[in-house]
Amino acid sequence: MGILEVKNVGKRFGGLQALSDVNLSVAENTVHAIIGPNGAGKSTLLNCLVGKLIPDSGSVMFDGQSVLGRAPYEINQMGISRVFQTPEIFGDLTVLENMMIPCFAKRDGAFELNALPSVSQQKDVVDQAMHMLEEMRMADKRHMHAAAMSRGDKRRLEIGMCLSQEPRLLLLDEPTAGMARADTNNTIDLLKQIKQERDITIAIIEHDMHVVFSLAERITVLAQGTPLVEDTPENIKGHPKVREAYLGE
């Protein structure tokens, strides 16, 4: 049994069957990539895992417990954390202030932005945020405005903010989209480092095959809302159906 078990999930938007009969098993402590052409249903599937969408049919089990019908924050508390397609950080705040937000929220269960000045005086929160910035190798950027950072560093900060919640499953939706090659390579290295240093399972939706083949131990190919094949990277590379559906050959 995987830490994440998706069985027969279906999701329809009006006349469009975005997902049908999706089965996916993600083994604990692995990196599992989900690839597929634009519109294949990858983000829809992810939204079904984090409570942003409710599937019409099927089941989603995380660590033996159903996530269906739970609110996103509850699923988050169960140990699933998600990085969105566009970075969700506060550009006007410093890097350290951004990192204090999830650290505070983890301690107190909620956070309001206007509490930030007083939070900044709380040593335990500041220490924890600094510790995460050190792990993310960005302690030297702590006083920078988040908006002034490169796309790669924004992503790095955002991943760190997710990790400060100590998730068991990290979900990433196209984390390197729109990045220059150097930032993409930094993101690959960061995810490898996280995998080495933590007990964590990573499920990554990714368009860039360089990223996929650098990180993934298993790959699921989604096409037109349904899994086409699931296999090791070696087998996926040579799979004729994948080349046809995904690589356009």
Please give the residue ranges that form the binding site for Mg ion (CB under 5 A): 42-43
Q: Which is nearer to ligand ADP, 138 or 170 (CB)?
A: 170
Q: Which is nearer to ligand ADP, 43 or 76 (CB)?
A: 43
Q: Is the dihedral of CA 228, 229, 235, 236 positive or negative?
A: positive
Could you give the angle at which helices 151-163 and 181-197 cross, rounded to 10 degrees? 20
- How long is the chain? 249
16 binds ligand ADP (CB under 6 A): yes
Q: Which is nearer to Mg ion, 42 or 70 (CB)?
A: 42
- d(C-alpha 72, C-alpha 50), whole Å: 6
Among 22, 24, 35, 42, which residue sits at the site for ligand ADP (rule: CB under 6 A)?
A: 42
Least distance CB 10 / ligand ADP (angstroms): 12
Taking CB under 6 A as the binding criterion, the range among 33-41, 59-67, 114-122, 235-243 that sits at the site for ligand ADP is 33-41
Of residues 44-103, those binding ligand ADP (CB under 6 A)? 44
Among 6, 31, 43, 136, which residue sits at the site for ligand ADP (rule: CB under 6 A)?
A: 43
Place of tokens 């990223």: 211
Among 9, 36, 183, 214, which residue sits at the site for ligand ADP (rule: CB under 6 A)?
A: 36
Three-class secondary structure of residue 73 per DSSP? helix
Three-class secondary structure of residue 216 per DSSP? coil
Cβ neighbours of residue 244 under 8 Å, at least 6 residues apart?
none
13 binds ligand ADP (CB under 6 A): yes
18 binds ligand ADP (CB under 6 A): yes
Three-class secondary structure of residue 100 per DSSP? helix
- d(C-alpha 91, C-alpha 148), whole Å: 8
38 binds ligand ADP (CB under 6 A): yes
**Contact between residue 198 and residue 163 where contact means Cβ atoms under 8 Å apart:** yes
What residue ranges bind ligand ADP (CB under 6 A)? 13, 16, 18, 36, 38-44
